[in-house]
Structure 1
Amino acid sequence: MSTFTAPKGIPEYYPPRSADFLAVRDTLADAARRAGYGYIELPLFEDTGLFARGVGESTDVVSKEMYTFADQGGRSITLRPEGTAGVIRSVIEHGLDRGQLPLKLYYSGAFFRYERPQAGRYRQLQQLGVEAIGVDDPALDAEVIAVADEGYRRLGITGHRIELTSLGDADCRPEYRAKLLEFLRGLPLDEPTRQRAELNPLRVLDDKRPEVREMLADAPLMADHLSAASKEHYERVKTHLSDLGVAFTENPWLVRGLDYYTKTTFEFVHDGLGAQSGIGGGGRYDGLMAELGGAELSGIGFGLGLDRTLLACEAEGVTPAGQSRCEVYCVPLGEAARRHLVRVSGDLRKSGTRVEVAYGGKGLKGAMKSADRSGARFALVVGERDLESGTAQLKDLSSGEQRTVALDGAADEVRAALEASP
């Protein structure tokens, strides 16, 4: 047994489950690509100040969960805990906002947060996100939400719901913040929570402790204090979502865990996951680019948890991969047969067929067991007698039917059989 184990709180994906993980990622990415989002690859780590300034020092992410260290040059570096700040940094640095707007980007990969490991909550989490930058249009907000919803539905998930609210704008946030802070100062909060309230009172509304939730029952809510412009924006988002056929539930308590959100804010929830029910979410962040030194451009985006989405698929009995890793399993019996089938396997792969070969001199019985485990539709078997007659045996692993085909035309016979099979 190895003396090494994976770090605590980090999921690993290996066959056959890794095929489902890849299908989750690729299906969600395809939904973004079909809506015109281009891919951006981001660094795994950034200057610590980017996240402290962009995400917000009052958030749990910055104050408790970041993996921060000094590199050999003495610089403070942080493994990325989320994607939006890095995208905005890249857009500013490379002038990507100077082209056609909105700039529509998507990304995927690993993110890092020091949290207490539990089901659905990991220290290395996999996400896919999109960002639409440069246009403040309620129809764009609705598109972003619909892209995620479409991705989930293409995976076969039906048990999720969308929670939606508005967090207001620069015209109404200060007045609401003052009212909320006045309310919170009148509560018997513990000192850490009181300090959080002074930094950003909205963060307290996100507190999950029952005793705090009880004290917050009569707290003023942003949805009741929206400016005329914010309210109109929110109403138009809801109208566009209805036009797109995207169902949603309004949740005025929704805050999300990051400080940069304004106006449209949303979360995807799946009750089949227990306490860690959020599978994705996002919102509009109209002041973030300027805060990080860029132009006064608006933006909206989301981050979808790939790990939790896979758990949601499994909770619903959905198999995202939908296809086996192998369509044809080649069984050579002897060295001469192996040379023929290696050649046939190469020919089939060039045309897009998924093929495996029984290596290591397996006998017929062991090789056919491997063929069954591979999930292949057909097995192609060649033995000494087949070589003498210039033939091969093509077996349907589902029905058990077997027929003889010409060895020279075996690849064409296999392709035809795959096209004809259900």
Structure 2
Amino acid sequence: MRCANPWKAAVAAGVLLLTAACGSGGGAGEKAPAEQKTLGKGEGRVDIIAWAGYAEDGSNDPRTDWVHPFEKRTGCKVNTKIAGTSDEMVSLMKTGQYDTVSASGDATLRLIAAKDVAPVNTGLVPNYRDVFPGLKMRPFNSRNGQMYGIPHGRGANLLMYRTDKVSPAPDSWKAVFDGAATYSGKVTAYDSPIYIADAALYLMKTRPALGIKDPYALDSKQLAAAVSLLKKQRQHIGEYWSDYQKEVTAFKGGDSVIGTTWQVIANTAAAEKAPVKAVLPKEGATGWSDTWMVSAKAKHPNCAYKWLDWIVSPKVNAQVAEYFGEAPANARACRETTDPHHCAVFHAADERYYRRVHFWTTPVPQCLDGRKGVKCTDYAEWTRAWTEIKG
């Protein structure tokens, strides 16, 4: 689940229930969608599926509106459907009623495999040229050297702790895994099957004999090891979080003293006088990057492409990044933020930082680490495992 800034947009609650198989929806003999070759006149409307906070029209905050300026400039009326989970986005895209979606990496490969989205012709999106190189041609937004969307933004899943309760200052995920008993009942973790990748990343660095090379490419033995670690951690979890305002409240009140977080949560908690710090641990971290994808059945493809170029344009991308709390995708957006320190705080241009971040990617049977002759576990298996972990 993804939530917009709690002060500015509706916060959806719930857990990712990504049970659909990655390959479902597209027949084996079905022809792959083709990319659009030319950009024509807008069709007068565009139907969007978006996370809360990604397509603001001023209704939540009159000062926050990049939808109406888009409509005025292009003549494409925006109709937005806010989704609360990646699973909901995948289901909605299968209907063929929407033109574009702001999909996270835990949904993109399912959309590609099901042939629900088409390759994107980046030549028709002029602002793509200014997207940070580290967001182009990634495993979660491309296939066979072809982009399947336009990057929107990115962020890391960090380790946050109360400085008055946790000592010494942690620099490893060990504090919430093998060392969780020290803070039993005060540990928190993200409430989603994708959190299994956090455990896998820790094991990748601390138990090399398991052979984990990619936290999203786990065979049955590797998944079992991650599940075992998470079951041990479960004994010390005070609560799992998905609504990040609740995590802020838990850290302020002391119900949580250490656990996974986002930079925007740490900023919010600190601004509310909670004694917290957030770090990128020495093992690295998981993270997220969203991608605007175009439906293979888009009824308004020209307006969809115009929206993709608009949302990644410097000024608008800066607005979205500040409103939502993330690093923008467009390098030139850093000159447009109202807070001159925004991009530095979110490490927008720090590719060395993001090389340590393993972005959410949908687990599929074909091992993403390149192994042959081995079947990896898919998201349906991860979802069943998560239910087992939580009891």
When normalised by structure 2's length, the TM-score is 0.20
- Structure having the higher helix fraction is 1
Greater Cα radius of gyration, structure 1 or 2: 1
User: Relative contact order, CA 8 A, sep 6+: which one is greater?
Assistant: 2
When normalised by structure 1's length, the TM-score is 0.19
